[in-house]
């Protein structure tokens, strides 16, 4: 009897300290509560689902050095950042490019668009080079200070970094800006 009273709390403690207790799940996709990027520990800010009607495209997780409730707060945070997309269905490069470029243009002024134009073209070229994504692919859009935005698919970087914190903030604006691609996705990524 005493053994059960001692073992039950120990088993509960072991369960709570297991790696699975340090994860969040949405649509069957499990995201760790923290990741290490460029020698920094980043925390999961939030998760969201991108869906149109009943078609589910991807689940996204946003990792930051500290909690942020707006694009402005995210922009002010030092260090690296990660936006991770986990594909729930396949998509072609034209679909991705159209969504990303349209999202940046919806959230940027004409002057900002002019400054970003060459880098938007670089992103489009990288996405075209990737080709079709399939269900299960993991796409990371990482910001590395001093380097820029790194696009990686299933852990493999696709081209050199695209320079500038302003470019990464423009990419984030697609998801959490004033005119997000999906309002529910924005709320999820902001942890609301």
Percent of the chain topping pLDDT 70: 89
What predicted TM-score, i.e. pTM, was given to this entire model? Answer: 0.87
Where is pLDDT greater, at 31 or 9?
31
pLDDT, the chain, mean = 90
User: Cα–Cα distance between 173 and 158 in angstroms, integer?
Assistant: 21
User: Cα–Cα distance between 153 and 6 in angstroms, integer?
Assistant: 47
Query: 24-189 maps to which CATH number?
Result: 3.50.70.10
Residue 23 pLDDT: 85
User: Cα–Cα distance between 128 and 107 in angstroms, integer?
Assistant: 23
Query: How far are the Cα atoms of 4, 93, 131 from residue 90, in angstroms, in the given order?
Result: 50, 10, 11
Checking if the pLDDT of 27 tops 60, the result is: yes
Checking if the pLDDT of 15 tops 50, the result is: no
7 burial type by CB count under 10 A (0-12 exposed, 13-18 middle, 19+ buried): exposed
Residue 3 pLDDT: 47
Q: Could you report the per-residue pLDDT of 60-77, keeping only the tens digit for each?
A: 999 999 999 999 999 999
Residue 96 pLDDT: 86
Residue 74 pLDDT: 97
Residue 90 pLDDT: 93
Answer whether 150's CB lies under 8 Å from 161's CB.
yes
Checking if the pLDDT of 113 tops 80, the result is: yes
Q: How many CB atoms lie within 10 A of CB 112?
A: 16
Kindly report which listed range (2-6, 80-84, 128-132, 185-189) carries the lowest average pLDDT score: 2-6
Q: Could you report the per-residue pLDDT of 139-184, keeping only the tens digit for each?
A: 999 999 999 999 999 999 999 999 999 999 999 999 999 999 999 9
pLDDT band at 53 (very low <50, low <70, confident <90, very high): confident
Kindly report which listed range (88-97, 113-122, 140-149) carries the lowest average pLDDT score: 88-97
**Domain positions in the chain:** 24-189
Residue found under tokens 């309002």: 183
């Amino acid at each position: 009897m005493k053994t059960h009273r001692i073992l039950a709390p120990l088993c509960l403690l072991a369960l709570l300290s297991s790696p699975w207790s340090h994860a969040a799940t949405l649509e069957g996709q499990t995201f760790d509560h923290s990741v290490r990027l460029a020698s920094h520990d980043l925390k999961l800010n939030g998760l969201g689902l991108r869906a149109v009607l009943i078609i589910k495209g991807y689940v996204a997780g946003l990792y930051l050095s500290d909690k942020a409730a707006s694009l402005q707060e995210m922009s002010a945070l030092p260090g690296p950042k990660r936006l991770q997309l986990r594909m729930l269905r396949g998509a072609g490069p034209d679909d991705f490019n159209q969504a990303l470029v349209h999202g940046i243009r919806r959230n940027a002024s004409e002057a900002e668009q002019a400054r970003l134009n060459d880098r938007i073209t670089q992103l489009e070229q990288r996405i075209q080079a990737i080709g079709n994504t399939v269900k299960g692919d993991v796409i990371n859009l990482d910001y590395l200070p001093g380097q820029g935005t790194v696009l990686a698919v299933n852990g493999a970087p696709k081209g050199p970094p695209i320079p500038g914190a302003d470019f990464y903030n423009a990419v984030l604006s697609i998801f959490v800006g004033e005119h997000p691609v999906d309002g529910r996705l924005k709320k999820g990524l902001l942890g609301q």
